[in-house]
């Protein structure tokens, strides 16, 4: 019955090899004649390595098993050629697929054209790129073969999220797994899972492969699309279906899905991995894009501190025919997003401040988010429940400064918000906004905010905005609450960088605060009898000096204008301290004489450049607002 000798019944310590050889099972065509020329779910996202890294890693993070340890994810690129490629294709029973690929590629639909190109490249170059995504300390694909559970949700179903992470999950649509198949040029993924809870008495090496092809007709039989590689199921209710099996170690090695430890989790092997965006064609490019994408999406989840450890660790390795081509590279959030990582670590360590006074400090403020009540909830009254989100701000000279990275749940980056109406010359900063469970807090308001924001995210989870779920589940006003939330973020940022709300009736705030003109000129020049600012550019250099470039508009005058630009540091109260100019130079249509600017009669515009002297600054230039008064020079006409 078992196909083995009697002695093995007493002496064997591992499973008896299965008597049923693995094979491909293709889903029969629909009886009503319906056809799917591809898996629509794969078109929900771009076949981009950055999108893959976001969706696959988010799924791993959502399935963290032991909350005291981080999830470990390892991305391995592996190029196979020659005999290494041949051995892999034989283990995958590629010959059983050749007719199906040929027929699927013969149609004129989008998926068919892509398949033709992939098959032609494989035949011409005798090369195949595999991408294996391993996660450890994750739940693994437990559950029954066909019933409700993680396994069926990933392997056999679409739009089944089946997340069990206590409402903290980043994903909610059940679409993210489709990026695995979308990234494969052949629509083929091999899966090996180590389970956190036993199934059928086993935990290790639950193996299956799934293929997504368009509708096709092979040898007179019609097939609907997907196919599975596994053992033939012996249950009469699933006759002919290929199911997962408990593989031996040689098999997982031949299929390149071996797992070095018994830590629970899953390995997904994408066969024929590519980046459809065209940004990463070589192995080196793909390796670098994966590292960069993991850092961009999950830097916050990789940061740990005294208050909480990192949620995830990520590595990328590249191989060629089993040999290391690019050594393992650990993704370090401080290397890629240093300012934001410093800000989050300060929050986790309890080392934030209320007001910034140095370049290494992190300021904390709370931003209110009002959660609209759910429809039909009788207890709902008024606008809704207020949740206090956390805004962290720190100085930064990053090229992409003056933005706030927003997140919830497991601290995956959701969106970047650029605050509006920041006065010109304000200090450069990086901000982090933590909402819902990302705050590290508990409570009803936290749970309500988490659900509200998750409902406002599209399948890409890249913004908080209008969605069908938001408008159908929540009372009217939900979109207004989101707009108010963004406005509160802007207001709080302006307060943290030292700006005050001012009356806008006197002109643009940028010009009022950075350049002030003395309006004491004689009234004989009419209502616009003084020079006015047409344009101003200001920045702080590495030494802390303010650099200003000012264009003036001048009214008609019979006499020369003689102006004295005076630099001052603005303060909340008292007199403004004067700061010396290190450099004052005339630009167009004027000349410099003894620290003054002289503009000839009839000239209607002029420019000048000024650089303050850092040694004369009462505080570092980054922590002050600069005021430039263009005053009447003694004995001059202005």
Q: Note the helical H segments in 299-337.
A: 333-336
Residue 12 lies in a domain: no
Is the domain of 551 the same as that of 607? yes
Report residue 599 as tokens: 């503009």
Lowest mean pLDDT among 244-258, 347-361, 567-581: 567-581
Write the pLDDT tens digit of every residue in 356-389.
Answer: 888 889 999 999 999 999 987 755 556 789 999 9
Q: Which of 223-227, 335-339, 523-527 has the lowest mean pLDDT?
A: 523-527
Q: Within this chain, do residues 543 and 599 fall inside the same structural domain, yes or no?
A: yes
Please give the pLDDT value at position 140: 93
Q: Residue 30: inside a domain, yes or no?
A: no
Separation of alpha carbons 565 and 557, rounded Å: 19
The more confident residue out of 521 and 477 is 477
Q: Is residue 28 part of a domain?
A: no
**Residue 482 sits in the same domain as residue 588:** no
The helix/strand/coil state of 57 is helix
Last residue of a domain, one of 496, 515, 550: 496
pLDDT band at 505 (very low <50, low <70, confident <90, very high): very low
DSSP 15: P
Least reliable range by pLDDT among 284-298, 419-433, 446-460, 465-479: 419-433
- Tell me how far apart the alpha carbons of residues 199 and 222 are, in angstroms, rounded to a whole number: 34
Identify whether residues 123 and 228 lie together within a single domain: yes
Least confident of 60-74, 141-155, 535-549: 535-549
The burial class, CB within 10 Å (0-12 / 13-18 / 19+), for 350 is exposed
Domain boundary among 496, 530, 563: 496
SS3 364: strand
Residue 443, number of CB atoms within 10 A of its CB: 11
* CA-based end-to-end distance of the chain: 108
How far is it, in rounded angstroms, from Cα 21 to Cα 555? 93
pTM for the structure as a whole: 0.73
Whether 193 and 302 map to the same domain: the answer is yes
pLDDT on residue 178: 84
**Domain range for 512:** 507-632
Do 218 and 98 sit in the same domain of this protein? yes
My answer on whether 513 and 406 are in the same domain is no
* 518 against 209, higher pLDDT: 209
Check: CB of residue 269 under 8 Å from CB of residue 131.
yes
31 located within any domain: no
Question: How far apart are the C-alpha atoms of 240 and 28, rounded to whole Å?
Answer: 11
Q: Both 325 and 350 in a single domain?
A: no
Domain count for the chain, please give it: 3
State both tokens at 30. Answer: 């629909």
| 228 and 315 part of one domain | yes
Backbone dihedral angles phi then psi of residue 521, each to the nearest 5 degrees: -65, 160
Task: Quote the pLDDT of residue 43.
Answer: 56
Residue 23 lies in a domain: no
Q: Mapped to the 3 state alphabet, what secondary structure does 482-545 carry?
A: HHHHHHHHHHHHHHHCCCCCCCHHHCCHHHHHHEEECCCCCHHHCCCCCCEEEEEEEEECCCCC
CB 50 within 8 A of CB 293: yes
Full 3-state SS string of 175-195: CCCHHHHHCEEEEEEEEEEEC
Q: Would you say residue 26 lies in a domain?
A: no
Residue 22 CA to residue 340 CA, distance in Å, equals 50
């Amino acid at each position: 019955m078992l196909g083995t000798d009697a002695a093995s019944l007493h002496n064997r310590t591992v499973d008896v090899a299965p008597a049923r050889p693995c094979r491909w099972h293709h889903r029969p065509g629909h009886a009503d004649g319906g056809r799917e020329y591809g898996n629509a779910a794969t078109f929900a996202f771009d076949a981009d390595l950055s999108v893959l890294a976001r969706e696959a890693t988010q799924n791993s993070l959502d399935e963290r098993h032991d909350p005291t340890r981080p999830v470990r994810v390892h991305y391995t690129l592996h190029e196979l050629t020659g005999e290494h490629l041949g051995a892999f294709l034989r283990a995958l029973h590629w010959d059983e697929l050749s007719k199906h690929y040929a027929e699927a590629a013969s149609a004129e639909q989008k998926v068919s054209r892509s398949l033709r190109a992939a098959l032609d490249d494989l035949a011409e170059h005798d090369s195949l790129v595999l991408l294996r995504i391993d996660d450890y300390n994750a739940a693994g694909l437990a559950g029954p073969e066909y019933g409700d559970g993680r396994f069926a949700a990933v392997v056999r179903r679409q739009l089944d999220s089946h997340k069990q992470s206590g409402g903290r999950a980043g994903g909610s649509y059940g679409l993210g797994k489709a990026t695995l198949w979308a990234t494969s040029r052949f629509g083929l993924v091999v899966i090996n899972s180590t389970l956190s809870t036993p199934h059928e008495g086993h935990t290790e090496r639950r193996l299956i492969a799934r293929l997504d092809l368009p509708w096709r007709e092979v040898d007179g039989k019609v097939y609907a699309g997907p196919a599975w590689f596994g053992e033939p199921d012996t249950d009469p209710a699933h006759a002919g279906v290929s199911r997962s099996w408990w593989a031996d170690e040689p098999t997982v090695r031949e299929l390149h899905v071996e797992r070095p430890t018994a830590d629970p989790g899953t390995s997904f092997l994408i066969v024929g991995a590519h980046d459809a965006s065209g940004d990463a064609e070589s192995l080196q490019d793909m390796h670098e894009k994966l590292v960069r994408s993991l850092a961009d999406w999950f830097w916050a989840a990789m940061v740990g501190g005294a208050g909480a450890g990192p949620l995830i660790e990520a590595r990328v390795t590249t191989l060629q025919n089993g040999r290391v081509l690019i050594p393992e590279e650990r993704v370090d959030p401080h290397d890629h997003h240093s300012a934001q990582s410093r800000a989050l670590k300060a929050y986790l360590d309890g080392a934030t401040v209320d007001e910034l006074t140095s370049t290494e400090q992190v300021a904390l403020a709370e931003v209110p988010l009002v959660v609209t009540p759910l429809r039909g909830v009788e207890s709902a009254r008024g606008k809704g429940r207020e949740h206090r989100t956390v805004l962290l701000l720190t100085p930064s000279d990053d090229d992409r400064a003056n933005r706030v990275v927003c997140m919830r749940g497991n601290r995956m980056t959701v969106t970047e918000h650029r605050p509006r109406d920041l006065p010109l010359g304000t200090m450069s900063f990086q901000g982090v906004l933590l909402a819902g469970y990302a705050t590290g807090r508990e409570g009803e308001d936290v749970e309500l905010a988490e659900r509200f924001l998750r409902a406002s995210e599209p399948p890409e989870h890249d913004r908080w905005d209008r969605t069908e779920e938001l408008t159908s589940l929540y009372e009217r006003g939900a979109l207004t609450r989101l707009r108010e939330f963004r406005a509160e973020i802007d207001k709080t940022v302006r307060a943290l960088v030292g700006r005050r709300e001012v009356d806008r009736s006197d002109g643009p705030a940028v010009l009022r605060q950075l350049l002030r003109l003395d309006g004491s000129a004689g009234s004989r020049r009419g209502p616009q009898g003084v020079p006015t600012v047409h344009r101003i550019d200001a920045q702080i250099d590495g030494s802390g000096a303010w650099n200003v470039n000012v264009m003036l508009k001048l009214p008609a005058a019979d006499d020369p204008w003689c102006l004295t630009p005076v630099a001052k540091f603005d303060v909340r109260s008292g007199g403004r301290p004067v700061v010396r100019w290190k450099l004052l130079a005339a630009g167009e249509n004027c000349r410099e004489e003894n620290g003054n600017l002289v503009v000839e009669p009839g000239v209607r515009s002029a420019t000048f450049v000024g650089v303050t002297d850092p040694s004369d600054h009462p505080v570092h230039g980054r922590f002050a607002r600069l005021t430039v008064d263009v005053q009447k020079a003694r004995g001059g006409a202005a």
